Protein backbone atom coordinates (compact mmCIF):
# COMPACT_ATOMS: atom_id res chain seq x y z
CA UNK A 1 0.00 0.00 0.00
CA UNK A 2 2.96 2.31 0.56
CA UNK A 3 3.00 3.60 -2.98
CA UNK A 4 -0.74 3.83 -3.42
CA UNK A 5 -1.46 6.10 -0.49
CA UNK A 6 0.49 9.21 0.48
CA UNK A 7 1.01 7.79 3.96
CA UNK A 8 2.14 4.18 4.27
CA UNK A 9 0.53 1.99 6.86
CA UNK A 10 2.55 2.30 10.06
CA UNK A 11 0.80 -0.38 12.09
CA UNK A 12 -1.03 -3.66 11.68
CA UNK A 13 -4.21 -1.80 12.54
CA UNK A 14 -3.62 0.63 9.65
CA UNK A 15 -3.02 -2.31 7.32
CA UNK A 16 -6.40 -3.77 8.31
CA UNK A 17 -8.13 -0.45 7.65
CA UNK A 18 -6.52 -0.37 4.20
CA UNK A 19 -7.56 -3.97 3.54
CA UNK A 20 -11.14 -3.19 4.50
CA UNK A 21 -11.12 -0.15 2.25
CA UNK A 22 -9.73 -2.14 -0.67
CA UNK A 23 -12.25 -4.92 -0.09
CA UNK A 24 -15.19 -2.49 -0.21
CA UNK A 25 -13.72 -0.74 -3.25
CA UNK A 26 -13.27 -4.04 -5.11
CA UNK A 27 -16.80 -5.25 -4.31
CA UNK A 28 -18.21 -1.85 -5.27
CA UNK A 29 -16.16 -1.86 -8.47
CA UNK A 30 -17.29 -5.37 -9.38
CA UNK A 31 -20.96 -4.51 -9.07
CA UNK A 32 -20.47 -1.18 -10.81
CA UNK A 33 -18.99 -2.80 -13.89
CA UNK A 34 -21.44 -5.70 -13.77
CA UNK A 35 -24.54 -3.50 -13.68
CA UNK A 36 -23.28 -0.78 -16.04
CA UNK A 37 -21.88 -3.39 -18.43
CA UNK A 38 -25.20 -5.24 -18.55
CA UNK A 39 -27.03 -1.94 -18.97
CA UNK A 40 -25.00 -1.07 -22.04
CA UNK A 41 -25.12 -4.63 -23.39
CA UNK A 42 -28.91 -4.87 -23.09
CA UNK A 43 -29.42 -1.37 -24.48
CA UNK A 44 -27.56 -2.38 -27.62
CA UNK A 45 -28.89 -5.95 -27.93
CA UNK A 46 -32.55 -5.09 -27.37
CA UNK A 47 -32.64 -1.73 -29.08
CA UNK A 48 -35.66 -0.99 -31.22
CA UNK A 49 -35.23 -2.27 -34.73
CA UNK A 50 -37.32 -1.64 -37.85
CA UNK A 51 -39.39 -3.31 -39.09
CA UNK A 52 -40.79 -3.82 -35.62
CA UNK A 53 -43.00 -6.88 -36.13
CA UNK A 54 -40.81 -9.65 -34.59
CA UNK A 55 -39.80 -7.49 -31.71
CA UNK A 56 -42.58 -7.91 -29.26
CA UNK A 57 -41.64 -7.94 -25.57
CA UNK A 58 -42.36 -11.31 -23.95
CA UNK A 59 -44.63 -11.08 -20.92
CA UNK A 60 -42.38 -12.20 -18.03
CA UNK A 61 -44.36 -12.53 -14.82
CA UNK A 62 -41.61 -13.38 -12.35
CA UNK A 63 -38.70 -15.69 -11.62
CA UNK A 64 -38.63 -16.84 -7.98
CA UNK A 65 -35.11 -18.31 -8.20
CA UNK A 66 -33.63 -15.12 -9.63
CA UNK A 67 -35.41 -12.97 -7.06
CA UNK A 68 -34.24 -15.22 -4.26
CA UNK A 69 -30.64 -14.97 -5.44
CA UNK A 70 -30.57 -11.23 -5.87
CA UNK A 71 -31.80 -10.79 -2.36
CA UNK A 72 -29.56 -13.46 -0.85
CA UNK A 73 -26.23 -12.61 -2.50
CA UNK A 74 -26.22 -8.84 -1.77
CA UNK A 75 -27.39 -9.57 1.78
CA UNK A 76 -24.44 -11.87 2.33
CA UNK A 77 -22.08 -9.27 0.83
CA UNK A 78 -23.29 -6.43 3.08
CA UNK A 79 -23.25 -8.66 6.17
CA UNK A 80 -19.63 -9.58 5.38
CA UNK A 81 -18.75 -5.88 4.95
CA UNK A 82 -20.52 -5.07 8.20
CA UNK A 83 -18.83 -7.85 10.14
CA UNK A 84 -15.36 -7.05 8.87
CA UNK A 85 -15.88 -3.30 9.38
CA UNK A 86 -17.19 -3.85 12.89
CA UNK A 87 -14.17 -6.00 13.78
CA UNK A 88 -11.74 -3.34 12.53
CA UNK A 89 -13.72 -0.57 14.23
CA UNK A 90 -13.90 -2.19 17.66
CA UNK A 91 -10.23 -3.09 17.43
CA UNK A 92 -9.53 0.58 16.68
CA UNK A 93 -11.70 1.90 19.52
CA UNK A 94 -10.77 -0.41 22.39
CA UNK A 95 -7.18 0.16 23.54
CA UNK A 96 -4.97 -2.86 24.07
CA UNK A 97 -4.29 -3.66 27.71
CA UNK A 98 -1.22 -2.01 29.22
CA UNK A 99 -1.13 0.89 26.78
CA UNK A 100 1.19 3.79 27.66
CA UNK A 101 -0.89 6.90 28.20
CA UNK A 102 -0.07 10.30 26.75
CA UNK A 103 -2.21 13.37 27.43
CA UNK A 104 -2.58 15.84 24.60
CA UNK A 105 -4.26 19.22 24.91
CA UNK A 106 -4.85 21.27 21.79
CA UNK A 107 -5.00 25.04 21.81
CA UNK A 108 -4.76 27.68 19.15
CA UNK A 109 -2.39 26.63 17.55
CA UNK A 110 -0.37 23.85 19.00
CA UNK A 111 -0.45 20.57 20.85
CA UNK A 112 0.66 20.46 24.48
CA UNK A 113 1.93 17.04 25.45
CA UNK A 114 1.96 15.72 29.00
CA UNK A 115 3.38 12.34 29.96
CA UNK A 116 2.20 10.58 33.13
CA UNK A 117 5.59 11.12 34.80
CA UNK A 118 5.32 14.89 34.40
CA UNK A 119 7.43 15.43 31.32
CA UNK A 120 5.93 17.96 28.92
CA UNK A 121 6.55 18.90 25.34
CA UNK A 122 5.09 20.95 22.52
CA UNK A 123 4.12 19.46 19.16
CA UNK A 124 6.22 16.38 19.70
CA UNK A 125 5.15 13.04 21.15
CA UNK A 126 7.75 10.38 21.80
CA UNK A 127 6.80 6.77 22.32
CA UNK A 128 8.56 3.41 22.17
CA UNK A 129 7.97 1.07 19.22
CA UNK A 130 6.11 -2.19 19.71
CA UNK A 131 3.98 -1.00 22.63
CA UNK A 132 0.39 0.23 22.47
CA UNK A 133 -0.09 3.95 23.17
CA UNK A 134 -3.30 5.55 24.27
CA UNK A 135 -3.85 9.27 23.70
CA UNK A 136 -6.17 11.19 26.02
CA UNK A 137 -7.26 14.16 23.99
CA UNK A 138 -8.78 17.46 25.00
CA UNK A 139 -8.86 21.07 23.87
CA UNK A 140 -8.35 24.30 25.78
CA UNK A 141 -10.25 26.71 23.54
CA UNK A 142 -12.05 25.55 20.40
CA UNK A 143 -12.58 22.29 18.51
CA UNK A 144 -9.39 20.75 17.18
CA UNK A 145 -8.55 17.47 15.52
CA UNK A 146 -5.96 14.77 16.06
CA UNK A 147 -5.24 12.90 12.87
CA UNK A 148 -2.49 10.33 12.37
CA UNK A 149 -2.74 9.44 8.68
CA UNK A 150 -0.01 6.79 8.86
CA UNK A 151 -2.09 4.95 11.45
CA UNK A 152 -5.47 5.62 9.79
CA UNK A 153 -6.94 7.04 12.99
CA UNK A 154 -8.53 10.39 13.71
CA UNK A 155 -10.38 11.89 16.66
CA UNK A 156 -11.92 15.24 17.56
CA UNK A 157 -10.42 17.22 20.43
CA UNK A 158 -13.25 18.87 22.31
CA UNK A 159 -13.11 21.58 25.03
CA UNK A 160 -14.42 20.19 28.31
CA UNK A 161 -14.32 16.58 27.23
CA UNK A 162 -11.69 13.85 27.01
CA UNK A 163 -11.71 11.67 23.92
CA UNK A 164 -9.32 8.78 23.33
CA UNK A 165 -7.45 7.12 20.55
CA UNK A 166 -4.89 4.36 20.52
CA UNK A 167 -2.26 3.02 18.16
CA UNK A 168 0.35 0.31 18.21
CA UNK A 169 3.40 1.71 16.38
CA UNK A 170 5.36 -1.18 14.91
CA UNK A 171 8.51 0.53 13.71
CA UNK A 172 10.58 3.55 14.69
CA UNK A 173 10.08 6.66 12.62
CA UNK A 174 8.60 10.11 12.59
CA UNK A 175 4.89 10.39 11.79
CA UNK A 176 2.87 13.49 10.97
CA UNK A 177 -0.01 14.67 13.14
CA UNK A 178 -2.56 17.05 11.60
CA UNK A 179 -5.31 19.17 13.09
CA UNK A 180 -8.31 18.36 10.89
CA UNK A 181 -10.79 20.88 12.28
CA UNK A 182 -10.55 24.43 11.00
CA UNK A 183 -9.67 26.21 14.23
CA UNK A 184 -8.63 29.73 13.21
CA UNK A 185 -5.95 31.51 11.20
CA UNK A 186 -3.09 29.38 12.54
CA UNK A 187 -4.84 26.12 11.69
CA UNK A 188 -2.51 25.12 8.88
CA UNK A 189 0.48 25.64 11.19
CA UNK A 190 -0.98 23.26 13.73
CA UNK A 191 1.35 20.39 13.05
CA UNK A 192 2.96 17.91 15.36
CA UNK A 193 5.04 14.77 15.15
CA UNK A 194 4.67 11.35 16.67
CA UNK A 195 8.21 10.12 17.08
CA UNK A 196 8.44 6.37 17.54
CA UNK A 197 11.77 5.35 19.03
CA UNK A 198 13.30 1.92 19.46
CA UNK A 199 12.55 0.74 23.03
CA UNK A 200 16.22 1.04 23.92
CA UNK A 201 16.54 4.63 22.67
CA UNK A 202 13.29 5.51 24.41
CA UNK A 203 14.52 4.16 27.76
CA UNK A 204 17.65 6.24 27.39
CA UNK A 205 15.68 9.32 26.50
CA UNK A 206 13.42 8.95 29.55
CA UNK A 207 16.43 8.35 31.77
CA UNK A 208 17.94 11.61 30.62
CA UNK A 209 14.77 13.36 31.76
CA UNK A 210 13.38 13.40 28.25
CA UNK A 211 15.80 15.97 26.95
CA UNK A 212 18.60 14.06 25.34
CA UNK A 213 19.90 15.33 22.01
CA UNK A 214 17.71 17.87 20.26
CA UNK A 215 14.64 16.94 22.23
CA UNK A 216 11.97 18.95 24.00
CA UNK A 217 11.18 18.64 27.69
CA UNK A 218 10.96 20.93 30.62
CA UNK A 219 14.59 21.32 31.57
CA UNK A 220 16.00 21.79 28.11
CA UNK A 221 18.44 24.71 28.00
CA UNK A 222 16.87 27.78 26.37
CA UNK A 223 19.42 27.92 23.58
CA UNK A 224 18.90 24.28 22.62
CA UNK A 225 15.17 24.76 22.74
CA UNK A 226 15.45 27.91 20.64
CA UNK A 227 17.45 26.12 17.97
CA UNK A 228 14.90 23.32 17.86
CA UNK A 229 11.98 25.74 17.60
CA UNK A 230 13.74 27.72 14.92
CA UNK A 231 14.20 24.65 12.76
CA UNK A 232 10.62 23.44 13.40
CA UNK A 233 8.91 26.78 12.80
CA UNK A 234 9.93 27.20 9.19
CA UNK A 235 12.32 30.11 9.84
CA UNK A 236 15.05 28.36 7.91
CA UNK A 237 12.93 28.31 4.77
CA UNK A 238 13.58 32.03 4.52
CA UNK A 239 16.63 32.67 6.69
CA UNK A 240 20.07 31.18 6.39
CA UNK A 241 22.24 30.98 9.47
CA UNK A 242 25.24 30.19 7.35
CA UNK A 243 26.07 30.12 3.69
CA UNK A 244 24.02 31.74 0.99
CA UNK A 245 21.33 34.25 1.92
CA UNK A 246 17.69 33.28 1.25
CA UNK A 247 14.57 35.51 1.08
CA UNK A 248 15.31 37.15 4.42
CA UNK A 249 18.53 38.41 5.99
CA UNK A 250 21.12 35.93 7.24
CA UNK A 251 20.60 35.68 10.99
CA UNK A 252 24.22 35.10 11.97
CA UNK A 253 25.88 38.08 13.59
CA UNK A 254 22.59 39.96 13.78
CA UNK A 255 22.50 40.46 17.56
CA UNK A 256 24.15 43.75 18.49
CA UNK A 257 24.58 44.89 14.91
CA UNK A 258 23.14 48.07 13.37
CA UNK A 259 20.25 47.26 11.04
CA UNK A 260 19.26 49.76 8.32
CA UNK A 261 15.47 49.98 8.03
CA UNK A 262 13.10 50.88 5.20
CA UNK A 263 12.35 54.58 5.60
CA UNK A 264 15.91 55.57 6.32
CA UNK A 265 16.18 54.96 10.06
CA UNK A 266 18.31 52.29 11.61
CA UNK A 267 18.10 50.28 14.79
CA UNK A 268 20.46 48.30 16.99
CA UNK A 269 19.47 44.65 17.05
CA UNK A 270 18.92 44.10 20.77
CA UNK A 271 16.69 41.47 22.39
CA UNK A 272 13.57 43.59 22.04
CA UNK A 273 14.24 44.14 18.33
CA UNK A 274 14.71 40.40 17.82
CA UNK A 275 11.53 39.63 19.74
CA UNK A 276 9.57 42.23 17.79
CA UNK A 277 10.98 40.93 14.48
CA UNK A 278 9.37 37.58 15.25
CA UNK A 279 5.97 38.60 16.62
CA UNK A 280 5.50 41.78 14.60
CA UNK A 281 7.83 41.61 11.59
CA UNK A 282 6.02 44.34 9.65
CA UNK A 283 6.76 46.94 12.33
CA UNK A 284 10.41 47.43 11.35
CA UNK A 285 11.27 46.17 7.88
CA UNK A 286 14.92 45.68 7.03
CA UNK A 287 16.06 47.89 4.15
CA UNK A 288 16.20 46.11 0.82
CA UNK A 289 13.99 43.15 1.84
CA UNK A 290 10.33 42.49 1.04
CA UNK A 291 7.86 42.71 3.92
CA UNK A 292 6.82 39.06 3.59
CA UNK A 293 7.70 37.48 6.89
CA UNK A 294 4.60 36.02 8.60
CA UNK A 295 3.83 37.06 12.16
CA UNK A 296 4.42 34.42 14.80
CA UNK A 297 2.39 36.28 17.39
CA UNK A 298 -0.36 33.67 17.47
CA UNK A 299 1.56 30.49 16.80
CA UNK A 300 4.59 30.96 19.01
CA UNK A 301 4.07 31.34 22.75
CA UNK A 302 6.19 34.05 24.43
CA UNK A 303 8.38 31.40 26.10
CA UNK A 304 9.30 29.96 22.74
CA UNK A 305 10.03 33.40 21.30
CA UNK A 306 12.35 34.01 24.25
CA UNK A 307 14.16 30.74 23.54
CA UNK A 308 14.55 31.60 19.85
CA UNK A 309 15.95 35.03 20.73
CA UNK A 310 18.44 33.39 23.10
CA UNK A 311 19.51 31.08 20.30
CA UNK A 312 19.85 33.94 17.80
CA UNK A 313 22.17 35.67 20.29
CA UNK A 314 24.56 32.72 20.07
CA UNK A 315 24.92 33.05 16.28
CA UNK A 316 28.09 35.13 16.24
Give the SS3 label for residue 112. strand
Supply the minimum distance, in Å, between the C-beta of residue 182 and Cu ion: 8
CA distance readout (Å), 110 to 12, 138, 144, 188, 312: 28, 12, 10, 10, 23
Q: Is 254 in the site for ligand HEC (CB under 6 A)?
A: yes
Q: Is 235 in the site for ligand HEC (CB under 6 A)?
A: yes
Q: Is 268 in the site for ligand HEC (CB under 6 A)?
A: no
| Among residues 126, 144, 152, 239, the one that binds ligand HEC under rule CB under 6 A | 239
Q: Is 223 in the site for ligand HEC (CB under 6 A)?
A: no
| Among residues 23, 136, 142, 238, the one that binds ligand HEC under rule CB under 6 A | 238
Taking alpha carbons only, the member of 146, 147, 145, 205 closest to residue 172 is: 205
Taking alpha carbons only, the member of 151, 134, 128 closest to residue 11 is: 151
Q: Give the span between the Cα atoms of 117 and 202, in whole angstroms.
A: 14
Q: Is 269 in the site for ligand HEC (CB under 6 A)?
A: yes
| Sequence-ordered list of residues with C-beta below 8 angstroms from that of 63, at least 6 positions apart, any chain | none
144 touches, from Cu ion, ligand HEC, none (C-beta below 5 to 8 Å by class): Cu ion
Nearer to Cu ion, 190 or 229 (CB): 190
Q: Quick check: 254 and 289 in contact, CB under 8 A?
A: no
Taking alpha carbons only, the member of 100, 93, 98 closest to residue 115 is: 100
Residues contacting ligand HEC: total by CB under 6 A: 28
122 touches, from Cu ion, ligand HEC, none (C-beta below 5 to 8 Å by class): none
Nearer to ligand HEC, 74 or 290 (CB): 290
Torsion-angle region of residue 228: left (phi > 0), alpha (psi -120 to 50) or beta?
alpha
| Among residues 3, 57, 90, 237, the one that binds ligand HEC under rule CB under 6 A | 237
Nearer to Cu ion, 115 or 146 (CB): 146
Q: Give the span between the Cα atoms of 46 and 40, in whole angstroms.
A: 10
Q: Is 61 in the site for ligand HEC (CB under 6 A)?
A: no
Nearer to Cu ion, 143 or 259 (CB): 143
| Cα 137–Cα 138–Cα 143 angle in degrees, nearest 5 | 115
| Cα 221–Cα 282–Cα 110 angle in degrees, nearest 5 | 45
Q: Which residues bind Cu ion (CB under 5 A)?
A: 144, 179, 183, 190
Q: Is 307 in the site for ligand HEC (CB under 6 A)?
A: no
Chain residues in the site for ligand HEC (CB under 6 A): 230, 233-235, 237-239, 247-249, 251, 254, 259, 269, 274, 277-278, 281, 285-286, 289-294, 296, 308
Amino acid sequence: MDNVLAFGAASGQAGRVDALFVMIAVIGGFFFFLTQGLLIYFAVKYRRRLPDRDNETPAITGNPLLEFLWILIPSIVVVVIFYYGWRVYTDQRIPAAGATEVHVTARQWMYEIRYPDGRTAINEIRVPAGKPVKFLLSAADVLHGFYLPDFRVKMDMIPGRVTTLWVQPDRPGSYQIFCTVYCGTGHSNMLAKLIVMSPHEYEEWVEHGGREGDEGGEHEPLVVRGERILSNAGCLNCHAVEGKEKIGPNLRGLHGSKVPLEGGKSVTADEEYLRESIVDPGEKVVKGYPNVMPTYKASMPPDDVRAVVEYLKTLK
